[in-house]
Amino acid sequence: MQPPHGHRLRLLAPLLCVLAACAQGPRIQWNHPSVNQDSRVQFLVVHATEIDFATSLQVLTHGDVSSHYLVDRDGSIYGLVPESRRAWHAGPSYWEGTTPLNPSSIGIEVVSVPKGMPEGTEAPFPEPQIAAVRDLIADIAKRHHIRPNRIVGHGEVQPEGRTDPGRLFPWSSLIDAGLIPAPDPNAVNRFRQAFERDPPGVRWLQEQLSAHGYRIQCSGVFDGPTKQVLTVFQGRYRPGQVDGEADPETLGILAALTSPDGLRMRTSRDGWRALHVDPPPQARCLDP
């Protein structure tokens, strides 16, 4: 004979309580939050897919890499990985002494190849796409309080094997939107003229590239890795002439970016303000 319904419930009650406790976990009180905290997201990395949208979506969802967002050429934005989780987009990356960046960054992949074009095709980024990227970066940076100088390209954080988003990516659009800093042209001109008269040595160049954020050895020898870093640097700050040469203009831009009064942020159509990085840029050279 089956026990009465109420009796069955009494027998099951202890088991149900145990299961409920296990499901809920420990009781935690959150009514005393610490003021000493910020977002785990400290960096935002912009990539170019170098393949078309369909292939990008397949690779980023079922391949061995991923990204938080994918932006198609028509401006459509696809969320692939929640911001609270780590995406596998930056590999053995480094910026300003932090490595790797996957645990502390958000990755945005921008489709750089038009439909039907072969892998690696260079093509201008359409305005609807750049507008979407601009809005997405503005939203992410605001929510996570990402510093403007920590919005970087994939090539900057992994220059030994990457150059994307490449010389055609319009960083100037992000400058005009007040999202990232730009070198002050007066400071650039001042340093350029000084370097035309008295060029600095290779070790100075490497130290300044390190202070700007790159992972680099300061050996005093202008080697292949130094040229590669300089090529990536020019792709962002002087895209009209990317040759990897340490000419006075390139050196002037670099010196402005690492000097206390050399950075500025756009505040309006005609307005600018100085940006002082805290802590100030400092060289973190790798041992030769």
Q: How many independent structural domains does the chain possess?
A: 2
Q: Which of 127, 129, 151 is nearest to 56 (CA)?
A: 129
pLDDT(21) > 60: no
| Amino acid in the structure at residue 115 | K
For residue 25, being part of any structural domain is answered with no
Does residue 233 contact residue 209 with C-beta atoms inside 8 Å? yes
Final residue of a domain: which of 154, 176, 198? 176
The pLDDT, as a whole number, for residue 1 is: 44
Give the model confidence (pLDDT) of 71-129 as tens digits.
Answer: 999 999 999 999 999 999 999 999 999 999 999 999 999 999 999 999 999 999 999 99
For residue 151, being part of any structural domain is answered with yes
Identify whether residues 168 and 49 lie together within a single domain: yes
Identify whether residues 193 and 262 lie together within a single domain: yes
- DSSP state at residue 66: -
Q: Higher pLDDT residue, 248 or 13?
A: 248
Identify whether residues 62 and 146 lie together within a single domain: yes
C-alpha span between 152 and 141 (Å, rounded): 12
Averaged over 194-212, what is the pLDDT? 97
Percent of the chain with pLDDT strictly greater than 70: 92
pLDDT(150) > 50: yes
pLDDT(219) > 90: yes
Does residue 181 contact residue 250 with C-beta atoms inside 8 Å? no
The pLDDT, as a whole number, for residue 10 is: 54
Q: What residues are annotated to the active site?
A: 109
For residue 28, being part of any structural domain is answered with no
Does the reported pTM lie above 0.85?
yes
Pairing of strands 69-71, 77-79: antiparallel
In angstroms, the Cα distances linking 45 to 19, 72, 141, 169 are: 43, 17, 11, 13
Averaged over 19-40, what is the pLDDT? 84
The pLDDT, as a whole number, for residue 2 is: 46
Final residue of a domain: which of 176, 208, 223? 176
Averaged over 266-270, what is the pLDDT? 90
Averaged over 39-59, what is the pLDDT? 98
Final residue of a domain: which of 141, 176, 211? 176
The pLDDT, as a whole number, for residue 156 is: 98
For residue 134, being part of any structural domain is answered with yes
Identify whether residues 229 and 213 lie together within a single domain: yes
Identify whether residues 155 and 230 lie together within a single domain: no
Identify whether residues 213 and 163 lie together within a single domain: no
Range of the domain at 235: 182-274
Cα angle, residue 213 at apex, residues 216 and 152 outer, rounded to 5°: 120
Tokens of 227: 């040229």
22 — pLDDT class (breaks 50, 70, 90): low
CATH number reported for the structural domain that contains residue 123 in this entry: 3.40.80.10
Identify whether residues 58 and 80 lie together within a single domain: yes
Averaged over 134-142, what is the pLDDT? 98
Does residue 254 contact residue 212 with C-beta atoms inside 8 Å? yes
pLDDT(4) > 60: no
Q: Higher pLDDT residue, 227 or 13?
A: 227
Identify whether residues 199 and 216 lie together within a single domain: yes
The pLDDT, as a whole number, for residue 184 is: 97
